[in-house]
Structure 1
Amino acid sequence: MLTVLFAARDGLWEAYRAPLTRALAEAGIAARVVTETDAPETVDYIVYAPNDRLTDFTPFTRCRAVLSLWAGVERIVTNETLTQPLCRMVDSGLEEGMVEWVTGHVLRHHLGIDRQICARAPSWEQVVPPLARDRTVAVLGLGALGRACAQALAGLRFRVSGWSRTPRAIEGIACDHGADGLRRVLERAEIVVLLLPLTAETESLMDAERLGWLPEGAVLINPGRGALIDDAALIAALDAGRLGHATLDVFRTEPLPADHPFWAHPRVTVTPHIASETRPDSAARVIAENIRRGEAGAPFLFLVDRSRGY
């Protein structure tokens, strides 16, 4: 019988207990799941989300893989004690939730809904938005979540451009890559969605220079990682009227401090990191499948490339 250590923040195990037990049984895996262990050398797999209790992976000498419950792995991938294979989370619930949040906010800005519902006095200003086919939306980051969002927006007939650091090909999406490609994509983007992983190369990617490449009045939507944006540069661009609005779901410090200028800025919408969440039912099936693969000697799903950071 395998030993699986569930190592996450307090309270999360109760949400995963039944789904993970069920998923392991359905995959035909005989496993004992524990939340603590005095014998790390007996642990076969670790199901992990960042927590203060487990920061040293050295004692887990038998562990075949660390299976993250998060899509982002920047808080663990640089841990020098982690020598085991690391798999990030990609699951259908996470993807569907992100697609719904992104398309909802893109449509909100495309249709000008804030302007329409926030009038303080009687108004009959008939501002008709363009059709989606006449609006260019850029998605930066074309991994599983970025690809799904780009395809959903293209399905609504937006002109969708995609950018990634390395070449990608997605049917119906005008894909570009590299430094020159980023400028080309940003210069024609009326709405930009950030879904990049956070790495040394992407931190503060949206700085003053790159924000300056956007057309006047463009909208920035960030459900990816807070540190993708230079906060001060963003506020300056909004204050100057260069950018029309920023809708932000992720931040460098979370919860967002009460005195942060984003809260009071009239051109910023703050949502409390709710764009998408790992769903226990679908995530448990991904975990069980990776354990099945590990026992069968098959390649793991969503294996992290340590050199790239994701």
Structure 2
Amino acid sequence: MALLYKADPVRGQHWQTLFAEHAPDIAWRAWPDIGNPHEIEYLAAWQAPEDVAQLLPNLKVLFALSAGVDQLDLGRLPPDLPVVRLLDPGITRGMCEYASWAVLSLHRDMLRYRQQQMARCWQAHALQPAVSRRIGVMGLGAQAQQILATLAPLGFGLSGWARSAHRVAGVACYAGDAQLATFLSRCDILLCVLPLTEQTQGILDRRLFAQLPRGAAVINMGRGGHLVEEDLLEALASGQLSGAVLDVLQEEPARADHPFWGHPQVVLTPHIAAMTQPGSAFAGLLENIRRFERGERMVGVVDRGRGY
């Protein structure tokens, strides 16, 4: 029995050490040195190799080394192959940290103060208390709920929206297309942590921005495919939006002439809101392997129909 790892080789060395110490019965293979392909029963990867069924004929489970699986072409994978998301508490902590920083940066007008610093301008502006600032989160999964719980003690008015109905203590929850406009009308800062699916592709567009209060700001921590970048630039230029914090783009890395690089109303970070950490993710991955071996249901199995 062997596990094939296909992702960042530096972190792969950490993964290998953990498997050697805690699961010596599982042979470790690192792409592209797969050894005997018939021995590989588990694949841990960011992206699966092409023709995975032919390459790994005895593969039993694909573990995606990410919280989402939109980077995988699920249609090209064997239909009976379980695909399992990585449930890493370190990712959730990182997302909460990033969301707090981004929300507070926009709330405290740091984009404007950064511009003033570059212009050597010393000027204070009126401070809006958190209790009068409304934060809306698109997506109400486990990570989104942790983000909302992290923001709650700061005093913001909190709301959330998802495709299906949720109940979250202290959060005004909205669901589906019928309640989207109402939700958006109550968001001074909109934060997107939706999974990327056919339904959410391009959801952050001109039509959505127009339904936000004038001068609202946007944070995208989901995927680059959620955002129509040209529509964001238009909304910033018109004043409909006052700023944006973006951790993801449609194409990464951003090309040298991308307009976001030097845009005074955009903070751009290189997809670093959260990163998989072997130290915090290993226990969950190994437990799922053991669950599978015992014939038990694994945690984080992807619903192919929903895409997450």
Relative to the length of structure 1, the TM-score reads 0.92
CA distance in 2, matches of 1:201, 1:121: 45
Residue 115 (1) aligns with residue 123 (2): no
**Per the alignment, in what secondary structure is the counterpart of residue 44 of structure 1?**
strand
1:85 corresponds, among 78, 82, 85, to 82
Query: Displacement, 1:157?
Result: 1.9
1:75 corresponds, among 44, 58, 71, to 71
1:32 corresponds, among 24, 27, 34, to 27
Q: Which residue type is aligned with residue 57 of structure 1? A: V
CA distance in 2, matches of 1:200, 1:274: 24
Matches within 5 A, 1:203-282: 203-282=201-280
Residue 14 (1) aligns with residue 13 (2): yes
Residue 4 (1) aligns with residue 14 (2): no
Query: Gaps spanning 5+ residues in structure 2: where?
Result: none
Identity rate, percent:
33
**Per the alignment, in what secondary structure is the counterpart of residue 215 of structure 1?**
coil
Does the CA-based 8 Å contact 1:77-1:309 persist in structure 2?
no
**Per the alignment, in what secondary structure is the counterpart of residue 45 of structure 1?**
strand
Residue 106 (1) aligns with residue 130 (2): no
Q: Deviations over 1:71-113 (max 9, x none)?
A: 1211214242333100011211000011001001101111223
Corresponding residue number in structure 1 for 2:53 = 58
Q: Deviations over 1:176-232 (max 9, x none)?
A: 110122211111100011101111110000111111001011010011101101111
Matches within 5 A, 1:122-161: 123-130=122-129, 132-161=130-159
Query: Displacement, 1:286?
Result: 1.4
Query: Displacement, 1:9?
Result: 4.2
**Per the alignment, in what secondary structure is the counterpart of residue 76 of structure 2?**
coil
Aligned residues: 302
Does the CA-based 8 Å contact 1:250-1:273 persist in structure 2?
yes
Q: Which residue type is aligned with residue 166 of structure 2? A: R
Distance 1:259 1:124, change over 3 A: closer
Distance 1:124 1:254, change over 3 A: closer
Does the CA-based 8 Å contact 1:222-1:248 persist in structure 2?
yes
Give RMSD over aligned pairs. Answer: 1.7
Distance 1:127 1:203, change over 3 A: same
Distance 1:137 1:254, change over 3 A: same
CA distance in 1, matches of 2:125, 2:259: 32
Does the CA-based 8 Å contact 2:111-2:243 persist in structure 1?
no
Query: Displacement, 1:126?
Result: 4.5
Query: Gaps spanning 5+ residues in structure 1: where?
Result: none
Does the CA-based 8 Å contact 1:189-1:215 persist in structure 2?
yes
Q: Which residue type is aligned with residue 91 of structure 2? A: L
CA distance in 2, matches of 1:23, 1:220: 43
